[in-house]
Amino acid sequence: MGDWLPESAKIPPAHSGAGHRERLRQRLLGGGAGALADYELLEFLLFAAIRQGDTKPLAKALIAHFGSFAAVLNADPGALQQVKGMGEASAAGLFAVAQAARRMTRGVVEDKPVLGSWQALLDYLLVDMGHLTVERVRVLYLNTQNRLILDHHVGDGSIDEAAIHPREVIRKAFDIGATALILVHNHPSGNPEPSRADIAITQRIAEAGRLLGVTVHDHVIVGRSGHVSLRAKGLI
């Protein structure tokens, strides 16, 4: 009889963070992501992989290490795992969230004429490129309805004729049946203002396009602080 315990005593007590997790969940459901601070939203994302315990210190450590919430989600899984407390499962969970965001914003762009959905295009580019640590050059090829038919990764490195050849850019358009294109690249420094090389190569590609009937709608430069359109600046 001495070993007998009431049934309730055999159930392990909830861990001390259970109430905090429930409060975060209710705040999120009641007020959306805006109801949570960046570190709290990151805490919530970590819950799926870290089933027990307090994820607040880890969330704050990740933001301190990478500099911002967006930078954490844009970090490589291997880099995430360098932060103490991050395992493969939690790194994969955050990486999946970032990939989901990219697919969502890309889906909006793919479903509509790009020129009529310019903000959606910018959202897609900022999510996909705003926090890259290398300079990446892409060409968005469009059909006669200005719908995206190919998002072509040209290469990584400075945008000049050593990295991107005007004839090759236009030839690719002919190969896939594109009638227009948008040049895109990022500035890892964060400042999206165009350099002289950016302007020069854009004008060469635009001139090659005019001669061969392929419209260069714009060249968008993306940085952490925003974007710049060379068309809007009157440089094309």
The domain in which residue 71 lies consists of 16-103
Instruction: Please choose, from the candidates 52, 116, 118, the residue with its C-alpha nearest in 3D space to the C-alpha of residue 90.
Output: 52
Instruction: Tell me how far apart the alpha carbons of residues 181 and 133 are, in angstroms, rounded to a whole number.
Output: 25
95-126 pLDDT, tens digit per residue, is: 888 888 877 777 766 667 777 778 888 888 88
Which of 54, 81, 103 terminates a domain? The answer is: 103
**Phi, then psi, of 229 in degrees rounded to 5:** -105, 120
Residues 50 and 146 reside in one and the same domain:
no
pTM above 0.85, yes or no: no
132-185 pLDDT, tens digit per residue, is: 788 888 999 999 999 888 999 888 876 655 567 888 999 999 999 999 999 999
| One-character DSSP codes across 28-58 | HHHH-GGGS-HHHHHHHHHHTT--SS--HHH
> Per the domain annotation, does 219 fall within a domain?
yes
Is residue 158 within 8 Å of residue 132, measured between CB atoms?
no
> Per the domain annotation, does 9 fall within a domain?
no
